[in-house]
Structure 1
Amino acid sequence: MPALDQTEIGARLTHLLAKRFGEEARVLSPEADLSDALAGFDSLAALEYVTAVEGEFGIEVDFVGDDVRYWFSTLGRTAEYVRDSVEDQAA
């Protein structure tokens, strides 16, 4: 997979969230806590988000080794996680 920049990753993540949460997701700042900013972003929604990110970017999240609660709590952190994961796979 070619290198992805933060802007492209962020746009794709926003699109994933917007599928479930609508326009509410499109106006999120990268630093917004998803569980606070999106009504209904509970543990099940978080798991669905992680699964959707895996599918969108062709990565596999390590639920044991990675701090999933941290990395998937904001768009900015998720984008950083995705970028690093894609780079690791390419290496």
Structure 2
Amino acid sequence: MTSSAVPSLESLRIRTRAVLARLFGPEIDDLPADTPLPETLGDRYDSLGAMECVTAIEKEFGIEVDFVEHDVRYNFAQLDRIAEFVHSRLEDQAVFGGSR
């Protein structure tokens, strides 16, 4: 994979929103991308909900998330941050190869 094969940040935002909508419902479609998910989704985005989100993102994009190294509380707190995180991981894969 070359860096040109990395999807655009906008396409990753759309796909990320779709993953979250499957997990948490259609209200995700109208949620501003910078809205804090824990505050907006409440009990649905508890530790289990966040874990399900991380797992779904890993599966959708073929990446691995290290819960400590990748600061999951920060990177998975907003839709925008999730998409930016995925973009960064895919760029790393394009440069270094494989799942990281």
Task: State the TM bucket, normalised to the shorter chain.
Answer: over 0.9
Gaps of at least 5 residues in structure 1 are none
Q: Deviations over 1:38-59 (max 9, x none)?
A: 2411110100000100010000
Runs of 4+ in 1 over 2 A off after TM superposition: none
Give 1 or 2 for the bigger CA radius of gyration. 2
2:6 aligned with 1:3: yes
AA at the equivalent of 2:39: D
Residue 62 of structure 1 and its aligned partner are, at CA, apart by: 1.3
TM-score (norm 2): 0.85
Counterpart selection for 1:56 from 39, 55, 60: 60
Matches within 5 A, 1:35-54: 35-39=38-42, 40-54=44-58
TM-score (norm 1): 0.93
Residues of 2 paired with 1:23 and 1:80: CA distance? Answer: 22
CA RMSD of the aligned region, Å?
1.1
2:71 aligned with 1:67: yes
2:36 aligned with 1:27: no
Question: 3-state SS of the aligned residue for 2:87?
Answer: helix
Residues of 1 paired with 2:62 and 2:88: CA distance? Answer: 13
Higher helix share: 2
Gaps of at least 5 residues in structure 2 are 96-100
